[in-house]
Structure 1
Amino acid sequence: MIRSFITRADVLRVALGWGAFVAVLVLHPLLAPPVAGPLLVVALVAIVAVILVCAFGVVQQAEALAHRLGDPYGSLVLTLSIVLIEVILISAVMLGPGEHATIARDSVMAVSMIILNLIIGLALLLGGLRHRGMAHNRTGTSAYLSMLVVLVAVAFGLPGLIGDDGAYTIPQEIPIIALTLALYAFFLFRQMGAQAEDFTEVDERLRGPAAATETAAPRLPIGQVLATHRTEVLTRLVLLVVTVVPIVLLSHDMAALLDDGLGRLGAPVALAGLLIAGIVFLPESITAIRAARNGEAQRVSNLCHGALVSTVGLTIPAVLLIGMLTGQQVVLAESPANLLMLAVTLLLSVTTFAAKRVTAMHGAAHLATFAVYVLILFS
């Protein structure tokens, strides 16, 4: 039974991903900076190639789960798998040697710009060009954006105003951790329960004169779906996780290589973090763009906005808690330029998804905003 859900390609992808990770560990002495130019290029190309192969395997399992479970559950599986691994790795870096006061801020900022502007921009541009416009569930999208406005303000704006040198004090951290976790938990509870329908695709067939006579296909309760297809869901979930873990591990292993190479080119340090964040969320990016090409605007929102809500909602409490337990300072306050870009991005997102139909013009505006952010990196 299980073999019907696992193909030879799935096994090869898992073996390739984990084999590449083991090879990087074995070759670590040769890859320690400074690395010879030719070896640096070969190592980066090989790692990126492995990540791309594994990413398509993750996308395949994610789409199969989304088809079987339906949204928002299908998108949530992929989102939480990637985000939880990313949070664990950031936490592991903080628990390791050295000072990492700004790792959470820099990582989440890069993820925010990539998800809200680059990925959503590409998805809306390509989907809008193909379908002219795509309808989405405005209630669900509004819920995501409401969460993001609060979480981003608390994470990156407030520490600079009430904190100490851009970091919350311990008496401030405790209520911030509790508030963030409570808000995120309540959001997940509602998203997977009473408000699940707010995160499903809009059935455009129900618009117009036919609305009175045509009804949407009934959805089976998630409990019934899991009971009926338990083996398939568990098998695909395990495959997704074991395929996505090497992507995240390899992307962090290549961080030193990117820092070394970009340093020689005189590129800004933040550019390496931006590239790594893009690679970590590559499976989600591919899935979102394919969903947009299929006209599934709400799935794009579930994948992108849901990923960022989970990233901020889980990363900030985790790093603050680690900082409290280890005595490390966690600097979260952003620079004025980045705060401006976050504000512009959130305002643009609210105006984009306030429309009944998102179009290629909306996508172009998001891509332009991402280009401005990259320009700021080099300034």
Structure 2
Amino acid sequence: MTAAIRNILTPAAILRLILGWGAFVALLFVGPLLAPPVPGPLLVTALIIIVGVILICAFGVVHEAEHLARRLGDPYGSLVLTLSIVLIEVVLIAAVLLGPGEHATIARDSVMAVSMIILGGVIGLCLLVAGLKHGSLAHNRTGVSTYLSLIIVLAALAFALPALIGTNGSYEQWQEIPIIVITIGIYIFFLFRQMGAQAADFHEVDPRLTQPAEVGGGATAGTEMGEATTTAVEDEPARQSIGEVISTHRTEIIVRLALLIATVTPIVLLSHDMASLLDDGLGRLGAPVALSGVVIALIVFLPETITSVRAAWQGEIQRVSNLCHGAQVSTVGLTIPTVLLIGLLTEQPIVLAESPANLLLFALTLLLSVTTFAAKRVTAVHGAAHLVVFAIFGITLFS
């Protein structure tokens, strides 16, 4: 083992892997003991242990993601974390659909919960944190506009159109094939442009991040962000092409990517394993069933949430967009065609159309996102507005 690999596979990283996968294997063996109804003390203990392991693993994922982001630069670094989490989530949803039982609405419920969490809760928290610490911040409006354009189109295809042209909230079989082709086509085209000709549209543009700190009097732009500014300049890999970066640091990138995936996988697996426990516990408290799905979605995207908030704390508002809006595009762009294809192959209905109340709330969230990022600079007030919409979403769960 080379010194570079030893620096990556630290005792802490190995411990996180052991904890995460060990907890998952343990749940497989003790599964019968945790079948509802579970005694109250055992239920609480199991949930505390699972959440604790997830938190430990989440910080490991964040650590690797930040190293990859500094090495690869954006949008590539953010894309690695986003795709790792979303792909695992899509695979698990597909596994549920291919398993026993009826799960016609699982994709709709999962994607809607993730959408409101990302566009309302996480974006709102990040803008609030960044705005309170750094004041107003400039973002790359072309890149964010690209994300939002895709989010609006994909959301309409997923949640609104089935109610208008489908039957009982599902597309007709002959309609599903063009929807699958269109969704995959636009998503692949987006990734091709994002990682190629339009990569610069997803770089930071705030001068406090893109210019080195001045020395001497009047150097307020550089000192306002302190260490974060210096780090951003020192670590900026954009002077090299992505091909050169990968060629030069191939071993480090491969090992860190493998470690990130190996650490994030038990987070997603554990979050789904704890679903029945959470349903049992919330049911005893009289909480709505939909709340469980929201909590699970929060846990699945915990590493991305932590990474986004840390980026906001450092004033990297474009990275926040790359992580959050990129996750939203990938979630819809990968989940919807996958579940529709499974529905075609298994001849089971896939209900995608949302209720009028959720459609209205999601439309409000999209409108707010467009107005927020149409501004030259985002502020803490923008963040507060997003958090209010997310709070309203929480209220609707109990209505």
TM-score interval w.r.t. the shorter chain?
Answer: over 0.9
Identical-residue share of aligned pairs (%): 72
Cα RMSD of the aligned pairs, angstroms, is 1.2
State the alpha-carbon separation in 2 of the partners of residues 219 and 248 from structure 1: 35
Superposition pairs of residues 323-362 of structure 1, within 5 angstroms: 323-362=343-382
1:356, CA displacement in angstroms?
Answer: 1.2
1:158, CA displacement in angstroms?
Answer: 0.3
The answer as to 2:390 corresponding to 1:365 is no
Match of 1:204 in 2: 207
Match of 1:225 in 2: 245
State the alpha-carbon separation in 2 of the partners of residues 242 and 30 from structure 1: 27
Match of 1:34 in 2: 37
State the alpha-carbon separation in 2 of the partners of residues 188 and 33 from structure 1: 43
State the alpha-carbon separation in 2 of the partners of residues 245 and 229 from structure 1: 24
State the alpha-carbon separation in 2 of the partners of residues 232 and 356 from structure 1: 37
Identify the match of residue 167 of structure 2 among 161, 164, 168.
164
Identify the match of residue 192 of structure 1 among 174, 179, 195.
195
Give TM-score scaled by structure 2 length: 0.92
The answer as to 2:332 corresponding to 1:312 is yes
State the alpha-carbon separation in 2 of the partners of residues 119 and 188 from structure 1: 23
**Partner AA of 1:240 in structure 2:** L
| CA offsets 1:11-43 (integer angstroms, 9 cap, x no match) | 000000000001111110101111000100000
State the alpha-carbon separation in 2 of the partners of residues 288 and 187 from structure 1: 22
Identify the match of residue 110 of structure 1 among 88, 110, 113.
113
State the alpha-carbon separation in 1 of the partners of residues 54 and 391 from structure 2: 25
| CA offsets 1:253-272 (integer angstroms, 9 cap, x no match) | 00000000111111111000
Match of 1:10 in 2: 13
Identify the match of residue 394 of structure 2 among 354, 374, 377.
374
Match of 2:264 in 1: 244
Identify the match of residue 48 of structure 2 among 45, 50, 71.
45
Identify the match of residue 86 of structure 2 among 71, 83, 86.
83
State the alpha-carbon separation in 1 of the partners of residues 324 and 8 from structure 2: 27
Secondary structure class of the residue paired with 2:361: helix
| CA offsets 1:158-189 (integer angstroms, 9 cap, x no match) | 00000000000000000000000000000000
**Partner AA of 1:21 in structure 2:** F
Superposition pairs of residues 279-290 of structure 1, within 5 angstroms: 279-290=299-310
Give TM-score scaled by structure 1 length: 0.97
**Partner AA of 1:40 in structure 2:** L
Match of 1:155 in 2: 158
State the alpha-carbon separation in 2 of the partners of residues 327 and 255 from structure 1: 26
**Partner AA of 1:67 in structure 2:** R
**Partner AA of 1:167 in structure 2:** S
| Contact 2:139 2:206 (C-alpha < 8 Å) held by counterparts | no
State the alpha-carbon separation in 2 of the partners of residues 279 and 133 from structure 1: 30
1:135, CA displacement in angstroms?
Answer: 1.2
The answer as to 2:25 corresponding to 1:22 is yes
1:203, CA displacement in angstroms?
Answer: 4.2
Match of 1:213 in 2: none
| CA offsets 1:229-277 (integer angstroms, 9 cap, x no match) | 0000001000000000000000000000000011111111100000000
| CA offsets 1:322-355 (integer angstroms, 9 cap, x no match) | 0010011000000000000110000000001111
| Contact 2:118 2:328 (C-alpha < 8 Å) held by counterparts | yes
Superposition pairs of residues 56-135 of structure 1, within 5 angstroms: 56-135=59-138
State the alpha-carbon separation in 2 of the partners of residues 233 and 241 from structure 1: 12
